[in-house]
Amino acid sequence: MKVPVTAMLGLAFGALSGAGAALAAYVGDPERGAEIFRKCASCHAVGEGAKNKVGPHLNGVFGRRAGSIDGFRYSKALRRMGDDGLIWNGETLDAYIENPKALVSKTRMNFRGLKEHDDREDVLAYLRQFSDDPQNIPEAEPTAVHEVDLPPEVLALRGDPAYGEYLAGECVTCHQAGGSDEGIPSITGWPEEDFVIALHAYKRKLRPHPVMQMITSRLSDEEIAALAAYFNGLE
């Protein structure tokens, strides 16, 4: 049975607001975070009088919907994620600064990410000082997944394009096999690893789109690899 998109979106936004009920202590070192943030400062400003640069300013970033600063030219991909319900909090910011393109595949943020967990904790502790009432900002529930850390054997799976074509019937009801991205992002010709990471991010409910979460919850690792191989091979 197909579930209406509007109903699924309503459920998703309800879940997002419910997740904000739990508070979590944040254990980073803001002074060390300020030093690490120098890597980000060529593109992002934060603090009194901060303005947009190459990237948006980061004042008030905690609790802000992705892609929502008026006047800043975001990528289509980030705006879509915001429209789908992506809110910047400890969980989503941690995932984004670890690997921006794992969370938002076509982001314009050309940064390889902070791979060390402690570095990310410290930077986020620093940034929290510039959001309203940082000690009371709702975080994701403690059991939430913080990143898409796929085992090497999952990334190494080689999918069968023919099986992927068989599985793709549900996908192409929205995503056009010909590559059109009118209203729905194109997935034609995507690099296989990017495709696999994106679908696992939906499956683990890190990416917020409720319909994609529902669809990927039914897919095995092998089926995701097959879909990646099929769509990668399309012209």
Q: Decide if 123 contacts 37 (C-beta within 8 A).
A: yes
Output the domain CATH number for residue 90. 1.10.760.10
pLDDT of residue 183: 59
Q: Are residues 95 and 12 in the same domain?
A: yes
Provide the number of structural domains found in the chain: 2
Q: Are residues 156 and 104 in the same domain?
A: no
Q: Decide if 81 contacts 208 (C-beta within 8 A).
A: yes
Integer Cα distance of 9 and 55 in angstroms = 28
Q: Are residues 83 and 132 in the same domain?
A: yes
Question: Would you mind telling me the total number of residues written for the chain in this entry?
Answer: 235
**Is 26 part of a structural domain of the chain?**
yes
Over residues 157-166, the pLDDT tens digits come to: 999 999 999 9
Over residues 106-142, the pLDDT tens digits come to: 888 988 899 999 999 999 999 988 987 544 444 433 3
Q: Are residues 211 and 180 in the same domain?
A: yes
Contacts of 48 (CB under 8 A, 6+ apart): none
- Global pTM? 0.54
Integer Cα distance of 182 and 179 in angstroms = 9
Name the token pair of 164. Answer: 């992927």
Could you tell me the residue range of the domain that residue 228 belongs to? 152-232
Integer Cα distance of 213 and 207 in angstroms = 8
